[in-house]
Amino acid sequence: MVYNKFTNQKNPRAFRVYASAAAVLLSVLCVLVSAVILSGCTTEPPYTPEPPCTEPPQASKSVTVVIDIHRFTVDTQQAYLGGVLDYLAAKRGVPFVYQTSSEHGRVIMRLGDLMVIGNVTIWLYASFDDPQWVVLDETRQFEGQTLYLANVVGIDYLPIKDGALYFFTSITVW
């Protein structure tokens, strides 16, 4: 007969019963925790919000997109900046990686040589001063033009304005 210091008994059978019960309870607890953790997983594709307006393509607009030091002039019928960036990726070979957010649509993770890494993020400035789309208090000068911070909405919601300049740059945030 073996003395069990955990149960203060000299009966090994009682120890086996307690050990078996503890193993069963631990297994049930692991299954419950796994079920709670995996309940948030889904196999559905990420949510892609529709742009706020579904207006038909308009007359061709000429816009300039500056990505760090690279300048692209594009004639487009796209209504939103996301369509222009899709064009630059497909036709001009500009690397374009994004994540989809339920709140903002597509959020840029890499555009050209710009990448979101650590505390470095990509900021977008635009040359038009419509307070619905830009922050009027946050400006930057570029080639004699005043540009306004346009990180208010995602690229699939920011409208294309004829003659506008869209400037992407990286900013280190602390």
Q: What is the pLDDT of residues 14-44, one digit of tens each?
A: 556 666 777 777 777 666 666 656 555 444 4
Q: What is the pTM of this model?
A: 0.66
Q: Looking at the structure, do residues 1 and 73 belong to the same domain, yes or no?
A: no
| Together in a domain, 66 and 37 | no
The angle formed by the CA atoms of residues 70, 72 and 75, to the nearest 5 degrees, is 175
| Pair 66, 100 in one domain | yes
110 falls within a domain: yes
Q: What are the pLDDT digits (tens) for 59-86?
A: 799 999 999 889 999 999 999 999 999 9
Q: What does the pLDDT look like over 45-64, one tens digit per residue?
A: 444 445 555 555 567 999 99
pLDDT tens for each residue of 119-128: 999 999 999 9
| Structural domain range at position 16 | 1-41
- Residues 21, 95, single domain; the answer is no
Q: Are residues 150 and 93 in the same domain?
A: yes
What is the number of structural domains in the chain? 2
Pair 76, 166: CB distance under 8 Å:
no
22 and 75: one domain?
A: no
Whether residues 124 and 166 share a domain: the answer is yes
70 within a domain of the structure (yes/no): yes
Amino acid identity, position 159: P
Torsion of CA 142, 148, 149, 151, to 10 degrees: -120
Same domain, 80 and 152: yes
- CATH code for the domain in which residue 89 is found: 2.170.130.30
Query: In this structure, is residue 137 part of a structural domain?
Result: yes
Classify residue 48: in a domain, yes or no: no
Same domain, 84 and 129: yes
Closest CA to 79 of 96, 60, 57, 97: 57
- d(CA 174, CA 170) in angstroms, rounded, equals 13
CB 61 within 8 Å of CB 139 = no
Nearest C-alpha neighbor of 104 from the set 166, 41, 44, 158: 158
Q: Are residues 109 and 158 in the same domain?
A: yes
Angle at Cα 30 formed by Cα 24 and Cα 36, nearest 5°? Answer: 140
The mean pLDDT of 107-131, rounded to a whole number, is 92
